[in-house]
Amino acid sequence: MICAHCHSEIADDSMFCTECGAKVEASAASSMLRPSARVCPHCGNDIPADAEFCTMCGARLEAGDDAALTTADGSEPEPVPDPVCPHCGAPLTDGAEFCTQCGSKADASDVSQTEGEIETRALTFEQPDADAEQYRADAAAAHESLNVVTPDLGMADPVPVDKTALMPKPAPASGEGSGPVSPESLADKARAGANAPKKKDPRKIAAIVAGVIVAIAVVGGGTWAFINYQHQQQVAAEQAQREKDEAIAKAEHVVVIKVSGDGWDTSAGASRLPVHVEGTDSKGEKVDEVQYATSDGRGINLRQGNYVLSVPSSPIAADGTVFNVSNTQVEVSFTAKDEEGSEIDATGRGGFELTPIDALEVTDEQINKAYEYASKDTTDGAPDADALKTAATKRRDDAVAAKKEADARAARTITTADYTLELPSYWDGRVTVKYEGDSVVVYSKNYPKRAICSIFVDAQGDGPMGDIGTSQMGYASLSNGRYAHVWCDRYSYIIAYANITNSTNPDDYYTYDEARELVDLQTGGAVHYDDVLAAMKDDDADADDLIFAQDTFFQNNIVSQIKAK
């Protein structure tokens, strides 16, 4: 039958549940009898057909006890006399070596043994089978709780025995383990057995353990999965943040600087401004490089960090202009919160001012240095550095040439209180001018004693014209009725005539080189002394044309160039 309290399977005729110890109601027990049962041959208790131990007395049932099976209608076979303890008369289990009530040796042949031996053996019996002992303890506890010594199951009364004669004598007061066990002690043991933990079905325990393990695995797996998910989320978030921080640290930002210079326009073809960048970025990496800025201040790309900017050389304008750059440094420090490379405005932290250098003052060193930096600019849109160098050199050379021309013009310009006169450029570097009051005398530089011409001022327009050797080349009207007269010697005729006539006058003595230089200056290179000498020697009609060629030169380049003040 099934226990109504814990639903464990128990013997049909049990009075108490062998699992939970609950009392089995008689009506429930009688209504749940199996059609076929066994009777314990030791105590007469009804037991299941397949039981190995009696559920009441705990005796082991041997194979030969199968004859104790009841019939289907509940009739029982003739009972077999139960074995009893020869000492206390209590029922004994089949094959028991000691009485479960008094603890005495069950073998009757040992009755004659001494009381000491009986008392000693009563406490030194062998350990019974664990399962049988459990059943005995459960039964004894149940009987004790009902104050029943022997269960009344309708069996035949046991044979009367004089228990007093068989009881062992009490142990001496000084003994520590000898003597029989009192019924009270056995009752205490029975109660302890009743309260002892009941044996569980191994299959149920295994199922429960398996269920617990599965539950732990499920809960633990779920917990682990949740914790692992949170960990993975945290790791992913940290990784994303690291990647973002790394991207921000690596992002390059356009740094706009302040720069200005008249005539410097990169959109018109000028080279870019070389900017030396030195410092440390946000990752602690050293930066020491040259970048190039356009005329609007852009072109510098930096990661967040701390930097110092300076300009090592001038750019070159499209027309070849080279600049002086202010010797300043600009400190730029910034941090950023985005990885897109936002623009950094550094115009408020100082800047660079470019001042054009006068072309006459530009040196080859400045041009070469500007060209060197311009040629290293490999960014998109960089101009042709060679073409810019050529332009810078030409601009300088043209300025130098213009300066020389200006200096020469100034050197050959005569200025007096009444007039100015620009001498012919053909004389540049070959004549000197000497002022003598209102008069001006021009001398040959190589032959300083030889005057090329002289100019004086008076109030008479017309006047003596001179002769073939010394003559007035013409005059120019000045303000206030004054006139500037130009006079000169005709060296072509004077020297050639002295040569032909073999003059011995020291004043007529000229070297050949001197004759050639003087004639060349007076004619502006139109006549050579040798031609004049030959023509006069041959009395050639062309001699006069050669001699008076200087008059034409003076009238066109001296007289006509006198400007009244």
Residue-wise pLDDT tens digits, 278-300? 999 988 999 999 999 999 999 99
**What is the per-residue pLDDT across 321-365, written as a single tens digit (0 to 9) for each?**
999 998 889 999 998 776 676 889 999 999 999 999 999 999 999
Model pLDDT, residue 160: 47
C-alpha distances in angstroms, 442 versus 407, 490, 510, 524, 558?
18, 14, 19, 14, 11
Q: Which of 2-16, 45-59, 80-94, 255-269 has the lowest mean pLDDT?
A: 80-94
Q: Euclidean distance between the first and final Cα of the chain, in Å?
A: 156
pLDDT at 53: 82
pLDDT at 218: 72
| pLDDT one-digit tens code per residue, 150-167 | 444 444 444 444 444 444
89, amino acid identity = G
Residue 415 to residue 74: CA distance in whole angstroms: 170
Domains of the chain, residue spans: 201-250, 253-396, 419-564
**Residue pair 113/85 in contact by the 8 Å Cβ criterion:** no
The dihedral built from the CA positions of residue 23, 25, 30 and 32, taken in this order, carries a sign that is negative
pLDDT of residue 197: 53
d(CA 468, CA 474): 14
Contact call for residues 497 and 536 (beta carbons, < 8 A) = yes
> Cα separation of 219 and 221, whole Å?
5
Pairing of strands 470-477, 483-489: antiparallel
Among 3-17, 38-52, 99-113, 186-200, the minimum mean pLDDT is found in 186-200
Indicate the pLDDT class of residue 493, thresholds 50, 70 and 90: very high
Ramachandran quadrant class, 476 (left: phi over 0; alpha: psi -120 to 50; beta: rest): beta
86 falls in which pLDDT band (50, 70, 90)? confident
Predicted local distance difference test score (pLDDT) of residue 469: 94
> Running DSSP on this structure, what letter comes out for residue 491?
H
**177-201: average pLDDT:** 50
Residues 62 and 349: their CA atoms lie apart, in Å, by 111
Selected residue with higher pLDDT from 102 and 297: 297
Q: Which of 365, 358, 340 is nearest to 396 (CA)?
A: 358
Higher pLDDT, residue 562 or 68? 562
Distance CA 373, CA 519 (A): 55
Higher per-residue confidence, 418 vs 338 = 418
Residue in this structure with the two tokens 């250098």, named with its chain if needed: 357
pLDDT: which is higher, 475 or 507: 475
Residue 487, classed as helix, strand or coil, is: strand
Provide the residue type at 558 as one letter.
Answer: I
Residue 551, classed as helix, strand or coil, is helix
- Cite the beta strand spans of 213-272 per DSSP E: 253-256, 258-261
Residue 300 CA to residue 336 CA, distance in Å, equals 16
Say if residues 322 and 304 touch (Cβ distance below 8 Å): no
Q: In which order are the strands placed within the sheet that holds 258-261?
A: 258-261, 351-356, 323-325
Tell whether the model's pLDDT for residue 208 goes beyond 90: no
Is the pLDDT higher at 365 or at 180? 365
Does pLDDT of 199 surpass 70? no
- SS3 readout for 125-192: CCCCCHHHHHHHHHHHHHHHHCCCCCCCCCCCCCCCCCHHHHCCCCCCCCCCCCCCCCHHHHHHHHHH
Q: Is 492 helix (H, G, I), strand (E, B) or coil?
A: helix
Amino acid letter, residue 488: C
- State the average pLDDT for the chain: 80
DSSP 457-504: EES-SS---B-SSEEEEEEEE-GGG-EEEEEEE-HHHHHHHHHHHT--
**What is the predicted pLDDT for the residue at 45?**
79
Question: What separation in angstroms does the CA of 209 have from each of 212, 216, 218, 246?
Answer: 5, 10, 14, 53
**φ and ψ of 348, to 5 deg:** -85, 5
Give me the percent of the chain exceeding a pLDDT of 90.
46
Q: What is the pLDDT of residue 339?
A: 63
Say whether 444 sits in a helix, a strand or coil. Answer: strand
Give residue 177's pLDDT. Answer: 44
What is the per-residue pLDDT for 395? 98
Confidence (pLDDT) at 51: 77
What gap in Å lies between CA 104 and CA 166, rounded to an integer?
10
Cβ–Cβ < 8 Å for 560, 484: no
Average pLDDT over residues 553-562: 97
Range ranked top by mean pLDDT from 64-68, 82-86, 106-110, 532-536: 532-536
472, 465 Cβ separation under 8 angstroms: yes
Residue written as token pair 């009688």 = 30
Is it the case that residue 181 has pLDDT exceeding 50? no
Q: What is the pLDDT of residues 444-455, one digit of tens each?
A: 999 999 999 999
Structural contact between residues 96 and 19, judged by C-beta atoms closer than 8 angstroms: no
Question: For the chain, how many residues are written?
Answer: 565
The residues near 106 (Cβ < 8 Å, ≥ 6 apart) are 83, 85, 86, 92, 96, 97, 98, 99
**Per mean pLDDT, which range of 29-33, 94-98, 494-498 is the poorest?**
29-33
What is the distance between the alpha carbons of residues 533 and 11, in angstroms, rounded to a whole number?
174
pLDDT at 460: 85
